[in-house]
Amino acid sequence: MHRKDIGYGQVRSDVGHKVISSPDNPVFKLANSLNHRKGREKTGLFLVEGFKLVEEALISPGLVDTLFLSDKAEELLPAESMREGIPVIIISSRLARILAQTENSQGIWAICKQAAKGEFAASNFSGLLLILAEIQDPGNLGTMLRTAWAVGVDAVLLSSGSVDPYNSKVIRSAMGASLKLPIYTGILPEDIASLQKAGFQVLACDAAGEISLFQKDLKGKVAIIMGNEGHGLADHWQSIADSSLRIPLHEGVDSLNVAVACGIILYEAYRQRSIV
Instruction: Say whether both 130 and 105 belong to one domain.
Output: no
Instruction: Say whether both 56 and 147 belong to one domain.
Output: no
Work out whether strand 108-113 and strand 45-49 pair parallel, antiparallel, or are unpaired. Answer: antiparallel
Condensed to tens digits (0 to 9), the pLDDT of residues 110-127 reads 999 987 666 788 888 889
Instruction: Say whether both 21 and 89 belong to one domain.
Output: yes
Domain range for residue 152?
A: 122-274
By the 10 Å C-beta count (0-12 exposed, 13-18 middle, 19+ buried), 252 is classed as exposed
By the 10 Å C-beta count (0-12 exposed, 13-18 middle, 19+ buried), 216 is classed as buried
Residue 81: which CATH number?
A: 3.30.1330.30
Instruction: Say whether both 178 and 206 belong to one domain.
Output: yes
pLDDT given for residue 244 in this prediction: 93
Condensed to tens digits (0 to 9), the pLDDT of residues 221-268 reads 999 999 988 888 888 898 999 999 999 999 888 888 999 999 999 999
Condensed to tens digits (0 to 9), the pLDDT of residues 196-209 reads 999 999 999 988 88
Instruction: Say whether both 167 and 191 belong to one domain.
Output: yes
| Separation between Cα atoms, residue 109 and residue 89, nearest integer Å | 10
pLDDT given for residue 208 in this prediction: 84
Residue 225's DSSP bridge partners are 131, 204
Give the chain's domain count.
2
Instruction: Say whether both 128 and 88 belong to one domain.
Output: no
Q: Write out the DSSP string of 45-72.
A: EEEEESHHHHHHHHHSTTTEEEEEEETT
- Of residues 252, 242, 244, 248, the one with CA closest to residue 264: 248
HEC string for 124-143: HCCCEEEEECCCCCHHHHHH
Greater model confidence, 74 or 32: 32
Instruction: Say whether both 84 and 197 belong to one domain.
Output: no
Instruction: Say whether both 59 and 159 belong to one domain.
Output: no
Residue type, 115: A
pLDDT given for residue 43 in this prediction: 94
Instruction: Say whether both 109 and 22 belong to one domain.
Output: yes
pLDDT given for residue 6 in this prediction: 31
| Separation between Cα atoms, residue 53 and residue 171, nearest integer Å | 9
Greater model confidence, 117 or 41: 41
| Separation between Cα atoms, residue 77 and residue 118, nearest integer Å | 33
Last residue of a domain, one of 113, 136, 154: 113
Instruction: Say whether both 8 and 94 belong to one domain.
Output: yes
Q: In what order do the strands lie in the sheet with 64-70?
A: 19-20, 88-91, 64-70, 108-113, 45-49
Last residue of a domain, one of 113, 132, 157: 113
Residue 130: which CATH number?
A: 3.40.1280.10
Instruction: Say whether both 137 and 106 belong to one domain.
Output: no
Instruction: Say whether both 31 and 56 belong to one domain.
Output: yes
